[in-house]
Structure 1
């Protein structure tokens, strides 16, 4: 578990109240009861190296031992879970921008914009048991809105 005092743990859900969970090395969205999965407690730490007014954050899973990263593919930016400790990113690790998301408030919901890919947002899949992805979207929509519920 992440030991830094400012670390916060959240269950992150989409607009349909489907939770983020991990299966087969991917971050998916689903109904923990119906999909036989357990909602992932996401460790959130700020990226102190970027503009704090944009609320830059890192998203870590498995106690902060793996982090969500934006990587470049032939089809454009994509999401990948990488074996990097969230505490190392917080302390100013190399290439931290690709692990950073700007947390934009929409009332009680948030949009998560990839810091390395301005205009690309974390997006819940239309189908159940599919990985979260990045989408280029100018207007907020249900698939790019997420809710953070304080974890234990």
Structure 2
């Protein structure tokens, strides 16, 4: 994710499909650091985006564990939205201010940026 030209600030994300959910919804599990640390929605009254030191391959093999790590990838032209599978209505977002962390919002495309460029790296 990051900007489309791979400029500073663009990050490499490892992605695997959640095989336990319907493929047409594009369910994915995302990791950083070569897939050794994965994004998840913490279990709370409101979702909290977290990173967990857990192998992406291990998560993708466990149906009971995979849902909280899963986001539905929704293409929107050249960009994508990422909807939490465990918290419907909550999307990955970044702030309009630079250097703010990735977080979650339930206000798609309003205050925070919910549009991401997602390019395949060969």
For Structure 1 versus Structure 2, the TM-score category normalised by the shorter chain is 0.7 to 0.9
Residue ranges of structure 1 left out of the alignment (5+ in a row): 1-11, 20-30, 33-37
Structure 1 position 94, deviation (Å): 3.4
2:2 aligned to which of 10, 13, 38: 13
Corresponding residue for 1:48? Answer: 19
**Aligned counterparts of 1:104 and 1:46: Cα–Cα separation in 2:** 13
Corresponding residue for 1:99? Answer: 69
- What's the C-alpha RMSD, in Å, of the aligned pairs? 2.2
Aligned residue-pair number:
121
Corresponding residue for 2:105? Answer: 135
Corresponding residue for 1:4? Answer: none
TM-score by length of 2: 0.87
Structure 1 position 126, deviation (Å): 1.9
**Aligned counterparts of 2:51 and 2:28: Cα–Cα separation in 1:** 15
Corresponding residue for 1:59? Answer: 30
2:47 aligned to which of 73, 77, 90: 77
1:150 to 1:79, Cα distance in 2 relative to 1, 3 A? same
Highest RCO, 1 vs 2 (Cα 8 Å, sep ≥ 6): 1
Corresponding residue for 1:122? Answer: 92
Structure 1 position 39, deviation (Å): 3.6
Q: Which deviates further from its counterpart, 91-100 or 61-70?
A: 91-100
TM-score by length of 1: 0.71
